[in-house]
Chains A and B, each alone.
Chain A
Amino acid sequence: MKQHSEIGAMLAEHEFLRGMSSKHIALMEEFTSVDTFHPGDYVFRAGEEAEYTYLIRSGRISIEIYDPQRGAVLLETIAAEKVLGWSWLVPPYKWCFDARAVEVTRMLCLNAERLRQAGELDHEFGYEFHKRFTGVFAERLRAARLQLMDMYGPLT
């Protein structure tokens, strides 16, 4: 019971969930665990089942793509108070990139299947959760487009 209330407090204070109702926080407590990843540990790899979504409490995770000619290419790093992973939202629920801990990283791990079920059963919860994710999509898409334009490169 004590463990649940600690996890509930951690969920409630995470930037991604700030302001969410205590009812919904209590709902997520039921399927949230805490995990620690050490530098070099893979949180997930491309092609694996997307079983969790992660809320970073501390540390940093790099999103990478592996190319046989170039090796692992770092696309983005995600730091504390940010959310990691959305492939669990879209069928076939498989990760598209690798995620690796750059430094010791503590995360809240939310079970993806239970999240999807909770969203189907409680649309208010589902809408609130998706609304927050939409903000993350928009922010990451914008950043990716800016990175794509190679703005520090020479003008051609």
Chain B
Amino acid sequence: MTLTTLDAPMSPLPYRIRQVTWENRDTFSFALAPAGEGSCERFLPGQFNMLYVYGVGEVPVSISGDPAEGDMIVHTTRYVGNVTKAMSRLRADQMIGVRGPLGNHWPAGEAKGKDLLIVAGGIGLAPLRPLIYEALRRRSDYGKIVLLFGTRSPDDMLFRNELRQWRSRFDMDVQICVDRAHQDWFGHVGVVSSLIPRAGFDPYLTHAFICGPEIMMVNTVEALIKRGVSEEAIFVTMERNMKCGIGLCGHCQLGTAFICKDGPVFRYDEMAPWLTIREM
């Protein structure tokens, strides 16, 4: 019998790294498969896993792969601390512990019949990629699908192959904006929210899903509200100091919510009052 996270929520299950892909100079993706028998835990777009580097520590990492792919589960992270640095040194065939999938998911079902606006900043594209895969699989459920992606520079772009594929589709609008570039860049330069006034979606019939640095999300929400999108139709994913991943330790508490258990996805109007309190 295979134990699942539900049976033992604090025990990581052993997974084997099948593939390591460097997305840019400091961000990498792991494709993982269970070390023993059985298939990967099913997940919903927006959920995350706690990844455990044996002997080093555990961190929450966004699931960035296709939810329909059952034999492998893909995560994307950037090396910023001790655990992710140790993680970046792991190679294919090595083992890693996995707890999850944890947290809630993007409420894509609520957006049926409406336009889908996805706004990603930097590595914030990682937890949105499963949503894009899923939305394209159910393409007829939505009106327009618009992806606005802001990143530091053309060299820092994630998921280049997918971005190229999505841009070449006739049923999806993809716009990329960088903070700085050289003359060989033909895209936009500036903040990603500057794309909102002219992006092709109906503001009164749109659900917006945003992930990125908090300041980018706040700025984006402001531009969306100015365009006419209601706060109730805007969803953001929050990041705080998650430790247990199941709402026990309280490290990630923000206001009345535990980001790991009640989130990480929140309707903007539910989270907005807490975002302006610095002590939170």
| Interface check A92, CB cutoff 8 A | no
The residue that A150 contacts in the complex, of B179, B188, B189, with Cβ under 8 A, is: B179
A152 near B121: Cβ-Cβ < 8 Å: yes
**Once the chains are docked, how many angstroms separate the CA of A74 from the CA of B182?**
6
B188 near A79: Cβ-Cβ < 8 Å: yes
Query: If the complex has contacts A80-B198, A81-B198, are A151 and B182 also in contact, measured as CB distance less than 8 A?
Result: no
Q: Which B-chain residue is minimally distant from A78 (CB atoms)? A: B190
Number of interface residues of B (CB under 8 A): 30
Report the minimum CB–CB distance from A138 to chain B (whole Å): 13
Report the minimum CB–CB distance from B182 to chain A (whole Å): 6
B121 near A72: Cβ-Cβ < 8 Å: no
**Once the chains are docked, how many angstroms separate the CA of A79 from the CA of B190?**
11
User: Interface code A60-95, partner B: CB below 8 Å = 1, 0 otherwise?
Assistant: 101010000011111111011100000000000000
| Interface check B82, CB cutoff 8 A | no
Chain B residues within an 8 Å CB radius of A102: 186
**Once the chains are docked, how many angstroms separate the CA of A150 from the CA of B190?**
11
| Interface check B134, CB cutoff 8 A | no
Q: Which of A45-53, A107-115, A118-126, A141-149 contacts B (4 or more CB under 8 A)?
A: A141-149
B182 near A73: Cβ-Cβ < 8 Å: yes
A152 near B183: Cβ-Cβ < 8 Å: no
B190 near A143: Cβ-Cβ < 8 Å: yes
The residue that B183 contacts in the complex, of A64, A79, A147, with Cβ under 8 A, is: A64
Report the minimum CB–CB distance from A24 to chain B (whole Å): 24
Query: If the complex has contacts A76-B189, A143-B190, are A154 and B183 also in contact, measured as CB distance less than 8 A?
Result: no
**Once the chains are docked, how many angstroms separate the CA of A15 from the CA of B261?**
45
Report the minimum CB–CB distance from B225 to chain A (whole Å): 15
**Once the chains are docked, how many angstroms separate the CA of A73 from the CA of B150?**
18
| Interface check B152, CB cutoff 8 A | yes
Chain B residues within an 8 Å CB radius of A150: 152, 179
Report the minimum CB–CB distance from B4 to chain A (whole Å): 33
B183 near A72: Cβ-Cβ < 8 Å: yes
A152 near B156: Cβ-Cβ < 8 Å: yes
Chain A residues within an 8 Å CB radius of B123: 152
Residue ranges of A at the interface with B (Cβ–Cβ < 8 Å): 60, 62, 64, 70-77, 79-81, 100, 102-103, 143, 146-147, 149-155
Residue ranges of B at the interface with A (Cβ–Cβ < 8 Å): 26, 78, 80, 121-123, 150-152, 156, 179-183, 185-191, 194, 197-198, 212-213, 215-216, 219
Between A and B, 14 residue pairs with Cβ closer than 8 Å are A60-B188, A62-B183, A62-B189, A72-B182, A73-B180, A73-B181, A74-B180, A77-B188, A79-B198, A147-B180, A147-B191, A151-B212, A152-B151, A152-B213
